[in-house]
Structure 1
Amino acid sequence: MAWYAYCITEKQAFPELLRHRKPIPLESVAGIQGNQVFLYPASDLAVIVSEYSPQESFNQKSAVDHARVIADCFKVSTVLPFRFGTVFTDDDSLRRSIRSNQRQFVTNIERLRGKAEMHLKVTLDDCCREQIHRYAATAVPNTGREYLSNLRETATLQRERQTKARAISVQMHRMFAPLAEEVTCKRTESGKMLLDIAHLIDHKCIERYQNKYSSASQAMKDCQMQLSGPWPPYHFVHRLTRSNAHSHAHPASA
């Protein structure tokens, strides 16, 4: 029997599992393709899975269902999410993977217990967009000196862009004081700069965090901000060893 994996959680969060050594249904939770979700016991841990057939194909709805199952489990326990598309080929491969990574999983659960992820998207004007486009549109320089000068000017503007993004990131960190953070920066199709910020916070601080967001969004007039969460700690989970699992979308993580 192949198993589709959603997340790892604590067995003690599901008292009905303490009397069983075999997978039992997680009532009222449907997985990908509407499949029944099971609690799969593994020492002090439980793996949230559903049966998987190679004939099943994944789509956008499958990804939504994957996230929904993890979110439902997150309501009652600390979770270590798997990447969308993670499949264990049989019981032995699932057990081997959990057993060989158990110490890491237990450590992560201890580290993330009582914590949640808040997700900020901060959009701001690209301070260097017009200048860089102007250099790019310039005709090929007549001399090597002109070419080198253009390279230096472009590099300087790129550093200015990075400096501005870093300054906003630091400002966000000071405002929200997260336990940990993951930040990425990219340019949008409209030429804006987008900072994608994940903050790890104590679950009991969610309301305070939301209040800080309200204040920050009013104070930072030159930025557009969007907040979502609380989410399971997707960005703060160490990668799972892939020796016994394969993925149809991304490598497994937990």
Structure 2
Amino acid sequence: MVNELTYVYCISDSPLPVHSISDQKDLECLKFGTFYGYVKKVSPDEFSEENLNKNFNNLPWIERHARNHIRIIGEIMKSSIVIPFKFGTVFNSEESLGNFIQKYTSSLNENLKNIKGKEEWSVKIYCNYTVLNEEIMELSEDVRNLEQEISKSKPGKSFLLKRKKVELIEKEVAKVVQLSGQICYEEVKRFSELTQVNSLLSAEHSDRKDSMILNISCFVNQVSVTEFIDAIGELQKKYKKIGFDISTAGPWPPFSFTSIKEK
């Protein structure tokens, strides 16, 4: 096809038989010096800069192609160390990709060295505020003391104290959320080479009714992955009763811990 563009999934330091990647007949592995680029040819009708910007407003198109992008990189990761490229990274030709690789050779080598033997895992913590509010009496001495004072007060004072109790519960819940999030963060850091705190996802984007309070990417040494996962499991057991849900997923392509920069 005339004027095809070169779409890039990732760069690695080792080749992989592309026929081993399921449902991806158009995937190619191209050699550029000591690097291997995993690419496919795409049409400008979809992936030119102008048309790609239009397609970014097409949610079904984005979901289909972005999921496939992550899936392909994930399969390559099973056998190779990879530097993942963001979804929608397109070069005008194989030659322009080769020029890019030549220009950033030093940075690519540094990235490959840094990610060798490590995996990116996500940790997300959610809070069910309804459950936490129900448990706050047991968790907060101040709330318990105020409740006792209310029970001993006359109606007029009791009414005012109940209003104060609502404000106190809100304050104490926020305190528990902040403290619990910090404790969990410090725990996962113990098993991580690096961490990155990410933006919180809204309920609309997380498809959950509870609220996300912490969203972390963790760079974990492969020898520590089992301990890391076990630690998440222990945190889940500890905090589930009071309304927290702590989960981890991975390994993911190391988007959070790779950065190609000119020296």
1:13-38 Cα deviation digits (max 9, x unpaired): 32x7xxxxxxxx7223257xx55111
In 1, Cα distance between the equivalents of 2:98 and 2:175?
45
| 2:223 corresponding residue in structure 1 | 204
1:42 positional shift: 1.1
| 1:149 corresponding residue in structure 2 | none
| Residues 42-191 of structure 1: pairs in structure 2 closer than 5 A | 42-56=32-46, 58-124=61-127, 165=178, 168-169=181-182, 171-177=184-190, 178-186=192-200, 188-189=202-203
Mapped contact 1:35–1:50 kept (Cα < 8 A): no
In 2, Cα distance between the equivalents of 1:185 and 1:109?
26
SS state at 2:45 partner = coil
- Of structures 1 and 2, the larger Rg is shown by 2
In 1, Cα distance between the equivalents of 2:201 and 2:75?
33
| 2:149 corresponding residue in structure 1 | none
Unaligned 5+ segments in structure 1 are: 17-24, 127-156, 242-254
Mapped contact 2:19–2:25 kept (Cα < 8 A): no
Tell me, yes or no, if structure 1 residue 232 matches structure 2 residue 253.
yes
1:158-183 Cα deviation digits (max 9, x unpaired): 9x969954862454233451100011
SS state at 2:20 partner = strand
Structure 1 residues 165 and 185 mapped into 2: Cα distance closer, same or farther (>3 Å)? farther
Structure 1 residues 60 and 217 mapped into 2: Cα distance closer, same or farther (>3 Å)? same
In 1, Cα distance between the equivalents of 2:95 and 2:84?
20
More strand by share: 1
SS state at 2:126 partner = strand
Structure 1 residues 83 and 212 mapped into 2: Cα distance closer, same or farther (>3 Å)? same
SS state at 1:106 partner = helix
Cα RMSD, aligned residues only: 3.0
| 1:29 corresponding residue in structure 2 | 21
Give TM-score scaled by structure 2 length: 0.66
Structure 1 residues 90 and 188 mapped into 2: Cα distance closer, same or farther (>3 Å)? closer
SS state at 1:55 partner = helix
Mapped contact 1:79–1:109 kept (Cα < 8 A): yes
The amino acid of 2:254's aligned partner reads P
Unaligned 5+ segments in structure 2 are: 48-60, 130-169, 204-208
1:212 positional shift: 1.1
Mapped contact 2:181–2:213 kept (Cα < 8 A): no
Structure 1 residues 62 and 219 mapped into 2: Cα distance closer, same or farther (>3 Å)? same
Structure 1 residues 179 and 162 mapped into 2: Cα distance closer, same or farther (>3 Å)? farther
1:194 positional shift: 2.7
Structure 1 residues 236 and 163 mapped into 2: Cα distance closer, same or farther (>3 Å)? farther
In 2, Cα distance between the equivalents of 1:47 and 1:166?
45
Aligned length: 199
